[in-house]
Amino acid sequence: MHLEVNHLYKSFAARPRSIVALEDINLHVDTGEFVCAVGASGSGKSTLLRLVAGLETPTSGEVLVDGMRVTGPGADRGMVFQNYTLYPWMTVAQNVGFGLKLRGISAQERQQQVAYYLDVVGLTKFAQSLPSELSGGMKQRVAIARALASRPKILLMDEPFGALDVQTKETMQEFMLDLWRQTQTSILMITHDVEEAAFLAQRIYVLTTHPGRVQREMDLEWPIDRTYTFKRNSEFQDCREEIMSLLRGEAEAVTPR
């Protein structure tokens, strides 16, 4: 799998002039990579992900998945939003299997795939529970399992842990690393949380604001079996501070004095 974003621009009509959300964005995600785009409010992060998902049309530029231009939503891209977007009247198993049912997958095969992905996310014993019976972190696991069940080429994540408390967020970050190691899924995740991006990603794109541009691309060579204690590592702290300095400096440059 190869995701490629080439010279991507996105502007929105407004008065007295249009608003440029993204300007000349270039990035890529290779097979099995975990890549994060990090930026402050106004950096166009969500717009970028919606363009990759095919939910928005670029003003110019292109998004390619394995050389094929993205012109709309597709099963090759799974999407996980910040708000869990689960169907409250469906059980956990029904939510996970919903996309498979729409694609006409047989009941037997659907049952097998749902069982597999519920096991992967550690929710087998909650298969018949309703979303209202789950914690926030568990709901997000269901959303991730549902996205993975369709076997996308790449998983797109829009600040998936942004609504969680600090403790649950940290647990979900470790869960996400375990899931990525286990499934070798290609992931593009956007977040405003610098520490989260530095902990999860193999590569980071640091975005500017108003408009969103790629300010820096950073390769990270962290140990693959890292846990939350790695955040206390001096090398990790240096990386976090470098990203914060980039975002801080960029914010100062655009703030009127």
pLDDT band at 79 (very low <50, low <70, confident <90, very high): very high
pLDDT tens figures, 24-44: 999 999 999 999 999 998 899
- The dihedral over CA atoms of 80, 81, 83, 85, expressed in degrees to the nearest 10, equals -60
- At residue 11, what are phi and psi to the nearest 5 degrees? -130, 155
Across the range 205-232, mean pLDDT stands at 93
Q: Give the pLDDT of residue 58.
A: 96
Model confidence at 13: pLDDT above 90: no
Q: What is the DSSP letter of 40?
A: -
| Residue whose pair of structure tokens reads 């004095």 in the numeric block | 257
Tokens, residue 130: 């309703």
Q: Give the pLDDT of residue 252.
A: 59
Across the range 78-101, mean pLDDT stands at 91
pLDDT tens figures, 138-167: 999 999 999 999 899 999 999 999 888 888
| End-to-end alpha carbon distance in the chain | 46
In 3-state terms, what secondary structure has residue 190?
strand
- Structural domain spans, the chain: 77-151
Q: Where are the alpha helices (DSSP H) in 83-165?
A: 92-102, 107-120, 136-149
Across the range 209-224, mean pLDDT stands at 94
Helices 136-149 & 107-120 angle (0-180, nearest 10): 130
Burial of 64 (0-12, 13-18, 19+ CB in 10 A): middle
pLDDT band at 92 (very low <50, low <70, confident <90, very high): very high
pLDDT over 90, % of the chain: 81
Q: If you average pLDDT over every residue of the chain, what do you get?
A: 92
Contact indicator for 26, 214 with CB cutoff of 8 Å: yes
Q: Give the pLDDT of residue 14.
A: 78
Model confidence at 257: pLDDT above 50: no
Partnered with residue 80 across adjacent β-strands are 157
Measured CA to CA, the distance from residue 9 to residue 61 in angstroms comes to: 6
Q: Give the pLDDT of residue 254.
A: 52
Model confidence at 76: pLDDT above 50: yes
Across the range 213-231, mean pLDDT stands at 93
The half-sphere exposure of 98 on its side-chain side, counting CA atoms within 13 A, is: 17
Measured CA to CA, the distance from residue 39 to residue 191 in angstroms comes to: 7
Please state the pTM of the whole predicted model: 0.93
Element (H, E) at 57: none
